[in-house]
Amino acid sequence: MTAPSRIVFEYAAHDDLVGALRRVRAEGYSHVEVYTPFPSDEIDEELPGPPTPVGAVMLLGGVIGGCGAYFMEWYAAHDYPYNSGGRPLNSWPAFIPVTFELTVLCSAIFGLLGLLWLCRLPRLDHPLFSLPQFIRASQDRFFLAIRTDDPRFTPLGLERLLEDSHPLSKQEVTS
Amino acid sequence: MPESRYNQPTVPPSAEPLVGPGETMERINATISRVPLTHPAPRFWWIGFGIAFVLVLVLLTAVSWLFLKGVGIWGINIPVAWGFAITNFVWWIGIGHAGTFISAFLLLLHQHWRTSINRMTEAMTLFAVACAGMFPLLHLGRPQYFYWLLPYPDTMGLWPQWRSPLVWDVFAVSTYFTVSLIFWYIGLIPDLAVMRDRAPTLLRRRIYGILSLGWRGDGRHWRHYEKAYLILAGLATPLVVSVHSVVGMDFAVAIVPGWHSTIFPPYFVAGAIFSGFAMVLTITIPLRAVYGLKHYITDRHLELMAKILMATGWIVAYGYFSEFFMAWISGDTFERYIPINRATGAYWPEYWTLVICNVLVPQALWWRRIRRTPALLFVISLLVNVGMWVERYVIVVTSLHRDFVPSSWGMFSGTRWDWATFIGSVGLFFALMYLFVRYIPSISITEMKRMVVTGEETE
């Protein structure tokens, strides 16, 4: 399967991008991408797509880390039984600190790896990087990209829809 | 709604903005990335880094000699077996705590003034924890066996003693370092992309490009990113409390008079944030002056930090008071002797130094004029740093040197190798800070831009 090309609009201001994004969403476009120098709640509300599962991934990491840590302590305490002041082998209050630390540790590691996996990073090459003005997507420009495999996409329709949204440039990026 | 504000006759004093006037996205990019890309003020950097690097060499010498001769080169002996190493460990870990407090706790509380200092303070956390983690290992005596602290199925059939806070410490400190690193790096990824796209040479573009993992600011990526960052902040906040609590319990589970107290974990956490904010001020005041960052780290930022310094200083002072009170109300001869010995015994100069530096000096911050004068704040922050180091020294040494049986009493004083290791760790910390400032944007460019453009967070 060949990847679809994108029509990329460049905007100078955050609010211009939000306006354009609202317009394409109202028309029912769903294969829409935005590229911005910083995250924005307004853009996130308009952007299609499911909510992020990164929280669930981190919860999973925490559960694995916590249960694993407690099991390790329980196992070690029984594998090498040691009477410390008459305390039971399964001295659960004393086992909590390490359990807590490893819960946090595994959750954070799952968070980092989950974030990279969900974003499909590291990926040093991307078709958009071939666009000369895209270098400012990290600086001070806001980009809207409509994929041509969008079921609502027609070149003329998109042109009409966004012609008065004040884009600084419009380019097609093939991949 | 800027107009409506002018219509109101009374404006609360907090309306002073957190960003200087006339900031645009491109100006933020240029001002902050200028420091790593063009290396302004090279004389300041080379002299500062040079001094720090000489101290790193001192540290390497001291540690090499330690490995050759053993811990006998330090002043430690029975009864005072903990000495400088544990003092330094507790002090450095504490300094790290303010970084996490600023980056995680204040994020959750929507304290937007954290934005311009969180990057720097997270770096401070990492380097301080690196310095801290060194000392327990050096103190082991046989540091080559440090891995016995880790749980692994060894041929001796032994496991770590899970009921011991010293084992908790291993997990707490290594988790703290790793989570701080992850949190710092995730926050850094978009800024590394900014640097990639501004770097003047191909080599630097490639280095920053690889480090930024090919970040391109995709809206869906931001969605994952923001959630992960927020949850990490939520994890780091209880973590920071747990780490110094565990350090406090290293002392509190012992039956040594002056240590055996339930106040230790919270008292240590408050002291940690107190000393950490002092170090943040020590670092930010010269940095913002040298690199022209006063539009981002404003006088208001310094004032807010000074207020936290004073508030945590009072918590610490309360801790000192309650130590006296608990000793008195316990009715225990040995517990009652400890505070009297601290104030009037052999270590009275150290004790009164800590009282002056940690209790009296921060009271100057009641005056707004002083909170608003960076030079004075800088001096106060240095005195608090000294005071907190001496506090840890007094806790470690005075309790051990006078325990239950007079026949086991003794004295401690640091040798030149103790001092060389301590001063060397200060050098290591500042050398790492200098390298950080030289190669990495020391303020979050991404968050500053968001603050300026969306506007609602600038107050």
Q: DSSP letter string over A84-141?
A: STT--SS-HHHHHHHHHHHHHHHHHHHHHHHHHHHHT------GGGGSGGGGGGGTT-
> What pLDDT is attached to residue B13?
47
β-partners of residue A10 are A143, A169
The dihedrals phi and psi of A53, each to the nearest 5 degrees, come to -90, 10
Q: Cβ contacts of residue B155 below 8 Å, gap of 6+?
A: none
Round to whole Å and give the CA distance between B377 and B391: 20
Considering only CB atoms, B450 lies closest to which of A39, A134, A138, namely A39
**Closest chain B CA to residue A65:** B175
A76 part of contact set with chain B, CB < 8 Å:
yes
The per-residue pLDDT for range B253-309, each reduced to its tens digit, is 998 988 998 889 999 999 999 999 999 999 999 999 999 898 899 999 999 999 999
- Give the minimum alpha-carbon distance from A3 to chain B in angstroms, rounded to a whole number: 17
Confidence category of residue A3, pLDDT binned at 50, 70, 90? low
The per-residue pLDDT for range A129-166, each reduced to its tens digit, is 999 999 999 999 999 999 988 888 888 888 888 888 88
B434, B45 contact by CB (below 8 A): yes
- Give the minimum alpha-carbon distance from B183 to chain A in angstroms, rounded to a whole number: 8
- Give the minimum alpha-carbon distance from B290 to chain A in angstroms, rounded to a whole number: 24
- Long-range contact set of residues B245-253: C-beta below 8 Å, sequence gap at least 24: B245/B269, B246/A97, B246/B165, B246/B168, B246/B169, B246/B172, B247/B89, B247/B90, B247/B93, B247/B169, B247/B172, B249/B165, B249/B168, B250/B165, B250/B166, B250/B169, B251/B395, B253/B165
- Give the minimum alpha-carbon distance from A164 to chain B in angstroms, rounded to a whole number: 23
Phi and psi based region of residue B411 (left: phi greater than 0; alpha: psi -120 to 50; beta: remaining): beta
Round to whole Å and give the CA distance between B234 and B187: 15
Interface test with B, best of A119, A135, A173, A175 (most B CBs within 10 A): A119
A38, B452 contact by CB (below 8 A): no
> What pLDDT is attached to residue B102?
85
Which chain A residues are within 8 Å of B172, Cβ to Cβ? Answer: 97, 101
Q: Which residues, given as ranges, of chain B have pLDDT below 50?
A: 1-3, 5-13
Which chain A residues are within 8 Å of B457, Cβ to Cβ? Answer: none
Which chain B residues are within 8 Å of A111, Cβ to Cβ? Answer: 182, 186, 228, 231-232
> What pLDDT is attached to residue B457?
53
- Give the minimum alpha-carbon distance from B227 to chain A in angstroms, rounded to a whole number: 7
Interface test with A, best of B31, B148, B227, B447 (most A CBs within 10 A): B227
A157 part of contact set with chain B, CB < 8 Å:
no
Summary mean pLDDT of chain A:
91
Which chain B residues are within 8 Å of A91, Cβ to Cβ? Answer: 162-163
Q: 3-state class of A57 per DSSP?
A: helix
> What pLDDT is attached to residue B11?
43
